[in-house]
Amino acid sequence: MAKFNIPEKFNFVDKFLLSTLAVLLFLLAIQILMVLFGINKVHAQEQTTPVLKTVSYGQKQQAFNEQDKLNFIEQSREQIFSDQDIGKASSMTRTQRLNSTNVDENKLASKSTTMATVSSYYSHEFLIYDAQSYLYDDFDEDGYYQTFGIVFDADVISSIANERADVYAELYLSIDGGPWTHYYSTDVFTIEGENINDEYEVITTLYEGYYSDNYDVLIDLYEVGYSGLVATFSSDDSDALYALPLESDEYDIYYDEYYYDDHHHHHSGSTGFISLIVMLMITILRCTFIGKLVRNKA
């Protein structure tokens, strides 16, 4: 059997190399744990229902000039509070919202009282005559937009010429025919007969939680003082509300210097991991080589 002569004392170089090897092994163990933890964290996030956030602004289109739109679109990504934060969006499904008992008392009165008043004097009904959609901001140029506008024309159909009514609308999004999800409630606005000049416009930036896909839009119209739905309009009624290519801000990444730095930093963990392995291999080889020299001298 071969006999190896192990030196009783290590010189300075041997001690340095062995200490370096111990440190590298320790760092390697930490890197492995971090990688495993990161993978588990990603899997946990994938299984969690995304938090939906939007930033919207709406008013009569006649008072909404192009500069106002550009200003809102520019500022929307810097807003601290989303529609969900300020109660303008609930992220509830349409079914849940229609069945909800949490109604705005400033907008709604009892249905029986309103119906009695209407039947005593006159009757009227409502119609959303038409709607249009517009797309803004596709920074990564992948065909999906993070900001879009919806314009709709609500009318009062009545025996009284140019009858006025106070209304508000609830807007919903659906992904490829899935459940309608509430994303905005307009303020109360006044419409007059079948006047086209009372069109209402809502511009929305999808801030978080909307992955890249085709979205349909639905508009429910309510009359102030009446708790029932008075009119609805959706992608079934107009192609303008069908299959809008949308995505929220976190998926619409634009490639500027900031993104490059962030992207580089994101991959620095894997780069450091590879470098650490290379250093470890070099150290082991050097220790092996020195060990052979020691044995040969002995």
Across the range 52-81, mean pLDDT stands at 88
Do 292 and 152 share a domain, yes or no?
no
pLDDT of 245: 97
Do 167 and 247 share a domain, yes or no?
yes
pLDDT of 83: 95
Using CA atoms, how far residue 50 sits from 92, 109, 203, 218, 236, in Å, is 13, 35, 22, 21, 27
pLDDT of 88: 96
The amino acid at 79: Q
Better-scored residue on pLDDT, 76 or 244:
244
pLDDT of 119: 35
Task: Examine residue 127 and state whether it is found in any structural domain, yes or no.
Answer: yes
For the full predicted model, state whether its pTM sits above 0.95. no
Indicate which CATH number applies to the domain containing 230.
2.60.40.10
Do 179 and 278 share a domain, yes or no?
no
pLDDT of 50: 77
Do 71 and 189 share a domain, yes or no?
yes
Do 100 and 18 share a domain, yes or no?
no
- Beta strand spans in 4-121 (E): 53-60
105, pLDDT greater than 50: no
261, pLDDT greater than 50: no
Q: How far apart are CA 166 and CA 189, in angstroms?
A: 6
What rounded mean pLDDT belongs to the chain?
77
Better-scored residue on pLDDT, 122 or 147:
147
Do 169 and 234 share a domain, yes or no?
yes
Cβ atoms of residues 152 and 219 within 8 Å: yes
Do 196 and 263 share a domain, yes or no?
no
Q: What is the CA radius of gyration of the chain?
A: 32
Do 218 and 101 share a domain, yes or no?
yes
Cβ atoms of residues 63 and 151 within 8 Å: no
Task: Examine residue 4 and state whether it is found in any structural domain, yes or no.
Answer: no
- Beta strand spans in the chain (E): 53-60, 124-136, 147-158, 164-175, 181-185, 189-192, 200-208, 213-223, 229-234, 244-246
Across the range 74-103, mean pLDDT stands at 86
Residue 65 φ/ψ region, left for φ over 0, alpha for ψ in the -120 to 50 degree band, beta for the rest: beta
Determine what percent of the chain falls in helix, strand and coil, rounding each to the nearest 5. Answer: 40, 30, 30
pLDDT of 159: 86
pLDDT of 174: 97
Domain count along the chain: 2
Q: Which domain holds residue 18?
A: 12-47+256-297
Q: pLDDT band for 220, please (50, 70, 90 cuts).
A: very high
Across the range 177-184, mean pLDDT stands at 95
pLDDT of 114: 35
286, pLDDT greater than 70: no
Cβ atoms of residues 85 and 207 within 8 Å: no
Q: pLDDT band for 264, please (50, 70, 90 cuts).
A: very low
Write out the two tokens for 124: 């009227």
Round to the nearest angstrom and report the end-to-end CA distance of the chain: 17
Across the range 108-124, mean pLDDT stands at 42
Using CA atoms, how far residue 93 sits from 133, 216, 222, 243, 287, in Å, is 22, 14, 17, 18, 65
